[in-house]
Structure 1
Amino acid sequence: MSTRSIRAAAVVAATAAALLLAGCSPAPIQRPVAAVGTPVAAAGDSTPSEVVAIGDSIAFGKGVRPDQAWPALVADAQNWHLTDLAVSGSGFVHKGWNGTTFRQQVDQALRLRPDYILIAATRNDRDDDPAAVERACTQLLGELREAFPHARIIGTTAIWGSDTPPASVERVDAIAETAVTDVGGSFLDVGFPLVGHPEWLQPDGIHPNALGQDVVAKVVEAKLAPLDLAL
């Protein structure tokens, strides 16, 4: 098991027992791409900060309800208003179900006015040319920073399933970390909290079920807690 999964285990241990007791009900099947223009609104404050999420099917919440995806859970906890732009199968260079990459998600984000930008590294890029991933990642993060000089950019490592992740995933994470920190963003190493826990995954062994999404969200929230997120 990766040392990152050991570190992440400490974060989720306190919540795992309660989460397992809660279980999860079967969720309706979603379309494989987020419905742009249908953001998840945070409760409470009438004028919450705006956040966009850029990512893959796990950030999109494939197989669970939109409000059960980890970006929605984190946005709710932070009282942010979320527009989830994530697309199944996509990556910085890997083409998703509709033939698009993170390029198109960034283009959509550039038309919005986000206060926070969540951008998740993805397992989908693990088999692509690392040099191409690095070029695309660096370019897209640069464009986001240029367009939104005061926004908080928050990157995360890729989410893996219950089996042991290949080294290529950590290589993608390292590329994303460099690109995010180079533009003054914060990068969260969430480890591999789902490793060894098939009960937190859907039958495909890749996508978290509602319980797994909650575990991921709890780890992200724990990593965000020490940061000064004030704009």
Structure 2
Amino acid sequence: MSARKSLRPRPAWVVGLVLICLVAAGAVAMSRGTFAILGGAAGAASTAEETEQPPTAVFVGDSYTAAEGGEGVRWTSLVAQEQGWRELNVGRGGTGWTVAVPADRCRYGTCPTYPEVAHEVVDLAPEIVVVAGGRNDRGNDVAAAAAETFATLREGLPDARIYAVSPFWDSTAYPAHLIAQGRDVREEVRRVGGEYLEVGHPLGGRPDLITQDGIHPNAAGYRALAEAVNEALDR
């Protein structure tokens, strides 16, 4: 009797219920599998994003680039932070396109001209180079030195973004010779496919942004320079 009962056909509603359960279970499994794949892909993308390094930017310049007088505030660091760059700073006080500082007066070990520093920059292999300065050159003709600097950078760093910043000045009237210098630098950086950042005179008429030496910016002054450079980069 029990054997015959086991062979008895199941009611239709039982069969239907079993089929519904099987379909539902399969849907849940497929759903879970899909979310696992998406989760894995998202996780991989997130990991890749986290391990991706920001581009390295080397800043070349004088005491303004080295941020003397800024109480630890650097316009270069503020710009790098805003732009998402990793900063390397080779600014050296007293230097310029045509001006070096003798070893016995150089606090940085060596204080060469910008054309000489350009070779050092190439060895660092950055993706970005920012050259700023010129106040120490006074009335010197910087065209040849600028041409050599940017030619060296472009030859050694063919894929790098190269920027030149118009010369900074303190809170006093902007000198005419810096306007002429800026024109020469602009022409030479553009010659190698670089970009000239015209930042104007952010410290002009603002002695409150200058330290007591009358030359170097204070912390607020360097923040003003950073804002001007970032605005020029974002144009």
Name the TM-score class by shorter chain.
0.7 to 0.9
Number of matched pairs: 179
Contact kept, 8 Å, 2:209 with 2:220, in 1: the verdict is yes
- Equivalent residue, structure 2, for 1:57: 63
Q: What's the secondary structure of 1:58's corresponding residue?
A: helix
- Equivalent residue, structure 2, for 1:221: 230
Distance in structure 2 (CA, Å) of the matches to 1:104 and 1:73: 26
Distance in structure 1 (CA, Å) of the matches to 2:89 and 2:116: 13
Answering whether residue 212 of structure 2 is matched by residue 206 of structure 1, we say no
Answering whether residue 86 of structure 2 is matched by residue 81 of structure 1, we say yes
Task: Tell me the CA shift for residue 46 of structure 1.
Answer: 5.6
Distance in structure 2 (CA, Å) of the matches to 1:119 and 1:45: 29
Distance in structure 2 (CA, Å) of the matches to 1:205 and 1:45: 44
Q: TM-score under structure 1 normalisation?
A: 0.74
Amino acid across the alignment from 2:68: K
Amino acid across the alignment from 1:136: A
Matches within 5 A, 1:8-87: 47-66=53-72, 68-87=73-92
1:72-129 deviation line (CA, Å, top 9, x unaligned): 110011111111001001001112353521133212101111111001131111232x
Higher-helix-fraction structure: 2
Contact kept, 8 Å, 2:58 with 2:90, in 1: the verdict is yes
Matches within 5 A, 1:180-195: 180-195=189-204
Distance in structure 2 (CA, Å) of the matches to 1:77 and 1:182: 27
The unaligned stretches of length 5 or more in structure 1 are 1-43, 227-231
Contact kept, 8 Å, 1:86 with 1:105, in 2: the verdict is no
Task: Tell me the CA shift for residue 224 of structure 1.
Answer: 0.8
Moved over 4 A (4+): none
Distance in structure 2 (CA, Å) of the matches to 1:179 and 1:121: 15
- Equivalent residue, structure 2, for 1:25: none
Task: Tell me the CA shift for residue 207 of structure 1.
Answer: 0.8
- Equivalent residue, structure 2, for 1:155: 164
Distance in structure 2 (CA, Å) of the matches to 1:141 and 1:52: 14
Amino acid across the alignment from 1:77: E
The unaligned stretches of length 5 or more in structure 2 are 1-49
Task: Tell me the CA shift for residue 189 of structure 1.
Answer: 0.7
Q: What's the secondary structure of 1:127's corresponding residue?
A: coil
1:4-45 deviation line (CA, Å, top 9, x unaligned): xxxxxxxxxxxxxxxxxxxxxxxxxxxxxxxxxxxxxxxx87
Q: What's the secondary structure of 2:221's corresponding residue?
A: helix
| Distance 1:142-1:202 versus aligned 2 partners, 3 A rule | same
Select which of 82, 85, 101 maps to 2:113: 101
Contact kept, 8 Å, 2:65 with 2:133, in 1: the verdict is no
Q: What's the secondary structure of 1:48's corresponding residue?
A: coil
Q: TM-score under structure 2 normalisation?
A: 0.72
- Equivalent residue, structure 2, for 1:142: 151
| Distance 1:45-1:156 versus aligned 2 partners, 3 A rule | farther
- Equivalent residue, structure 2, for 1:110: 122
Larger radius of gyration: 2
Q: What's the secondary structure of 2:163's corresponding residue?
A: strand
- Equivalent residue, structure 2, for 1:166: 175
Amino acid across the alignment from 2:182: D
Amino acid across the alignment from 1:163: T
Amino acid across the alignment from 1:154: Y
Q: What's the secondary structure of 2:124's corresponding residue?
A: coil
Amino acid across the alignment from 1:81: R
